[in-house]
Structure 1
């Protein structure tokens, strides 16, 4: 297994900062439900010679972490995407950490058949009983769908072992990031195997937030990796992580509008194999989108196609002058970090 991934842009020339700032539109999109504590999603969209890209690091992220998201957006808008090997992508639907009674309403926002459902668990202030009740509500509403859970690193090792033992009845496809650290993932996986519980462990934050995205594979800490183009610096760098990890991959979104989902779709379309449904269906969690015809799945399948933001929607979703300036400074700081990383 190769032990490094390419640098940002890997020799490609960045557009100038002026060009980047002249071609940005910043939007604020309300959510249908709170998702990862977010009720309003702020995002910046860039228009370049290759199309559109989205820069949407969460507001609390540092410049160092956010810079990778800018690299991804610039790649999408100025370089374009690698050659695709498929035109359709299997997707899962996503159920946030809502009360069990809200599950039918959440699932009702998806079009047609739902084959896989990712259920958020380990939410602060909720209990294991809440998580199991949510899973049971999904299973009762969609008895033919396969289920997986995502804890976003919210459990301790003991809590993870207890919770995943209690969830064994749901025959989970995998459990995503049950604990925070790579070493913790390895220990949870080993302890579950000792109990004859063989739910696959998927690594998300341990890949996209790690200084070394390949550590998970080297330590045998996971069976699956969750890949998000933006936090890894773009489609090409994400493809390199998958190739060098040697693990099956699931492409997921970072709660973007359809512009960012198009980048995720380009990544999924370029992978040689997609053994699980991808997590690119989160546009349905938003009250509006930046494009007129949202990039969403029907019958569990997303068709890969171009997307172009709608000018009227961009005006409706535009942020205040003060917030616009805040984002432009953030873009400037991230751009300078990328330039320094290339030198």
Structure 2
């Protein structure tokens, strides 16, 4: 519900930035994000560029809530985070891991378009060699395999002692099939897109298609709504991010802090993938953790990373469209 923060106030404090990445990720070299300030502090609105207003509206609702409202009381003040390994060549693994410091868990991107399974195996093997036997490895296919491909790939990757496989297939039915086929392999299935992009985020739990939920505060409409989804699903949750600035990561940290139980390291260490951020003290992992705290941007960095007037106008139009979508829903 957008009422706590009028549209005029959002636009009045709006800054739109483009941050450079250390390595190409999700097909981009720079990440655009809109930032604005409310009574409780700064918030981020950064749905991916291809999302329409109907899908992106939940992201704006989340930002409005974080900027306008006190967040739920925390159960912890620091969050253990994982490193995220893009779908790079295996020889780049040590370089990228070095950006994260002492994280004990790594999420490895697999099933990248244009790549083959041997490249995934080499990348995961390099991560295992870097972490040693005690490190934790999870793989994320972003729905890139069909059921047979997922079964074959996860059998091949099982030797690296996977913590879980995230969204191996696109649909809930496929996830359920893969989970059934892997029952004797002790590879839990985690659902991401089947939660955050679904009209019904609880459908995957009702179908018995996942062992773990991957939840993100922005696309699910904010911390409170996400907590409600996790409670109703009755499954363990891992809080992740959508390649956010440190302001967006702060919202994710508040979500992770508010979960009554948090057994897995969270995907909130991705500030390490940027070569610059909007704050001089970014939420880059230290000893495998980030603090639970709000982040205010540095005015000089906002100016340094500001987008062109045309791009700002594009984001303003997008915010207006999403705000109208939220008004229509209420």
Partner SS for 1:44: strand
1:165 has 2:155 as partner: yes
Match of 2:244 in 1: 256
CA RMSD, aligned part only? 0.9
* CA displacement 1:282-339 (0-9 Å, x = unmatched): 0111111011100122111222123110000000000001111010000000000000
Q: Does the aligned pair in 2 maintain the 1:25–1:45 contact within 8 Å?
A: yes
Match of 1:99 in 2: 89
Q: Does the aligned pair in 2 maintain the 1:70–1:331 contact within 8 Å?
A: yes
Partner SS for 2:42: strand
Partner SS for 1:174: strand
Give, in whole Å, the separation in 1 of the partners of 2:141 and 2:70.
Answer: 33
Match of 1:230 in 2: 218
TM-superposed CA distance for 1:198, in Å, is 2.0
1:44 has 2:34 as partner: yes
Give, in whole Å, the separation in 1 of the partners of 2:267 and 2:62.
Answer: 18
Selected match of 1:202 from 190, 201, 218: 190
TM-superposed CA distance for 1:141, in Å, is 1.1
Q: Does the aligned pair in 1 maintain the 2:85–2:97 contact within 8 Å?
A: yes
Partner SS for 2:219: helix
Give, in whole Å, the separation in 1 of the partners of 2:105 and 2:73.
Answer: 27
The number of residues matched between the two structures is 329
Match of 2:115 in 1: 126
Q: Does the aligned pair in 1 maintain the 2:272–2:285 contact within 8 Å?
A: no
Structure 1 residues not aligned, in runs of 5+: 1-8
* CA displacement 1:121-149 (0-9 Å, x = unmatched): 00001111000000000111110311000
Selected match of 1:139 from 97, 121, 128: 128
Structure 1 length normalisation: TM-score? 0.94
TM-superposed CA distance for 1:64, in Å, is 0.6
1:212 has 2:206 as partner: no
Give, in whole Å, the separation in 1 of the partners of 2:71 and 2:24.
Answer: 31
* CA displacement 1:178-215 (0-9 Å, x = unmatched): 0000111001111122xx21200000000000000000
Match of 2:311 in 1: 323
- Greater Cα shift, 240-249 or 23-32: 23-32
Match of 1:16 in 2: 6
Partner SS for 2:94: helix
1:221 has 2:209 as partner: yes
- Greater Cα shift, 79-88 or 309-318: 79-88
Partner SS for 2:76: coil
Give, in whole Å, the separation in 1 of the partners of 2:76 and 2:158.
Answer: 34
Match of 1:336 in 2: 324
Selected match of 2:104 from 97, 100, 115: 115
TM-superposed CA distance for 1:114, in Å, is 2.0
1:32 has 2:44 as partner: no
Give, in whole Å, the separation in 2 of the partners of 1:46 and 1:217.
Answer: 34
Match of 1:62 in 2: 52
Q: Does the aligned pair in 2 maintain the 1:51–1:80 contact within 8 Å?
A: no
Give, in whole Å, the separation in 1 of the partners of 2:296 and 2:311.
Answer: 23
Q: Does the aligned pair in 1 maintain the 2:254–2:293 contact within 8 Å?
A: no
Give, in whole Å, the separation in 2 of the partners of 1:114 and 1:71.
Answer: 31
Give, in whole Å, the separation in 1 of the partners of 2:52 and 2:291.
Answer: 34
TM-superposed CA distance for 1:167, in Å, is 0.8
Q: Does the aligned pair in 1 maintain the 2:195–2:213 contact within 8 Å?
A: yes
Structure 2 residues not aligned, in runs of 5+: none
Give, in whole Å, the separation in 2 of the partners of 1:90 and 1:273.
Answer: 13
Match of 2:259 in 1: 271
Give, in whole Å, the separation in 2 of the partners of 1:223 and 1:49.
Answer: 38
Give, in whole Å, the separation in 2 of the partners of 1:74 and 1:238.
Answer: 15
